[in-house]
Structure 1
C-alpha cells in the first residue's frame, strides 16, 4: 500500500533490517506480552520514541521507518476519548509493516519524563488496565 509522502515510524527494541516485516502474531512489546493481533505504528516521531522507550526487552531502543503493506486504522488505545482526532497519528494494522530503514539520530525523552510515564503505566496496571491488545 503506497502512502505517498507520509512517513511512518515503529518504535521497538528488536534488531531489524530493511526489508524485514513486522507482523502480528508475535509476543507484544508491552504489558503481559500476549500474542499481538495488531502491529502498531505512528506518523509522529514522538509517538514512536515512546514506543521504543517503553518496549520491554534488553535491546537498545530503536526507531524504524516503516511502510504499511495493507489497510490500517486509528489506534483506539491512543485515540477516541483519550486524544480526539488522533493528534499522535497512531495507527494499527493486521497486515505487516515493511522496514524501510532505521532512524539513527533521534532524541529520547528526559529520564524524568520517562519515569513519570512508567509510573503512570504501573498505576494503570494496578487498576487492571491493559491498553494494548
Structure 2
C-alpha cells in the first residue's frame, strides 16, 4: 500500500501555513495553526503528520514526547510503505526527548528502533521525471546537469519521483524554453531518498522523491498531471528567488 501525499490537502496546507508563520518568527501563531489542523484532521494519516509538527514545537520535553508518540502511534496504525520512511525520524525524536528527561533506558531503546528501520527505499514505482527536454523511449537520463535551483551547480545525481504531480512541478521549474514534459522512467541502478526533501518539511520521504548516480531509462511519457496555475507559478518563482537553503548534492 502507498498513500499519496497531496499538497492540496487542506491539512497539509495548514501545516505549510504553520511552518511559514514559524519561519517569520511567529511561533505562537504557528502552534495555533497546527492545533487548528489537529482539530480538523480526519484520518490517521493526517493525524500522524500534524502530531509530528506539534511535537516539534512544544516548549518542554514531556509535551514533545507526548505528541511525538502520538504521531508514531498513528503512523504504525496506517501500516503504509511510504509512511514507514518516517519511522527512523519519529523514533529518534522520541529517543531525544527521553534523553532530555534523563530516561536513558527508553532513549537507548528508541535509538535502536530508529536504526532498525533505516535502509534503502523499497518503492517499486512507477517513477517519473519532469523536464523540458524532448526524449524518446530508451533514452538514458544521467547525472551531471545544472541545477534548476542554484546557478552553475552541477548535479551529481539524477532526480525522480513516484509522485506524478511532483514530476510535473519539476518540469515547470526546469530551465529552458521547451514544453513541460513528464516521462515514465526506470532507475537502472541503486537509488536513495532525496535528502533535500527527506525529513525537511515533513517526516521521512512522504513525497516519494529519490535520486541516483546511475542513469534512468525512459519508458514512456504521460500527459495528464496537475499543471501549475499562473498564480502558483508566480509563487514558486518568488519562493525560489528567496531560497537561501543549501542543496545537498
The TM tier, using the shorter chain, reads: 0.7 to 0.9
After TM superposition, give the deviation of residue 5 of structure 1 in Å: 5.7
* Pairing of 1:1-133 with structure 2 (within 5 A): 6-124=125-243, 128-131=244-247, 133=249
Secondary structure at the aligned position of 1:107 is classed as: coil
**Residues 59 and 116 from structure 1, CA distance in 2 versus in 1: closer, same or farther, beyond 3 angstroms?**
same
How many angstroms apart in 1 are the aligned matches of 2:204 and 2:123? 21
Q: How many residues align?
A: 128
Give the TM-score normalised by the residue count of structure 1: 0.87
1:49-93: per-residue Cα shift (whole Å, max 9, x none)? Answer: 110000011111100000000011110111123221211100000
Give the TM-score normalised by the residue count of structure 2: 0.48
How many angstroms apart in 2 are the aligned matches of 1:6 and 1:123? 32
How many angstroms apart in 2 are the aligned matches of 1:35 and 1:60? 23
**Residues 30 and 15 from structure 1, CA distance in 2 versus in 1: closer, same or farther, beyond 3 angstroms?**
farther
After TM superposition, give the deviation of residue 131 of structure 1 in Å: 2.7
Secondary structure at the aligned position of 2:167 is classed as: helix
Q: What are structure 2's unaligned runs of at least 5 residues? A: 1-121
Q: What are structure 1's unaligned runs of at least 5 residues? A: none
Compare the two structures and name the one with the higher strand fraction: 1
**Residues 6 and 27 from structure 1, CA distance in 2 versus in 1: closer, same or farther, beyond 3 angstroms?**
same
Radius of gyration: which is bigger? 2
Higher relative contact order (CA 8 A, sep 6+): 1
Compare the two structures and name the one with the higher helix fraction: 2
After TM superposition, give the deviation of residue 31 of structure 1 in Å: 2.3
Moved more, 109-118 or 64-73: 109-118
How many angstroms apart in 1 are the aligned matches of 2:135 and 2:248? 22
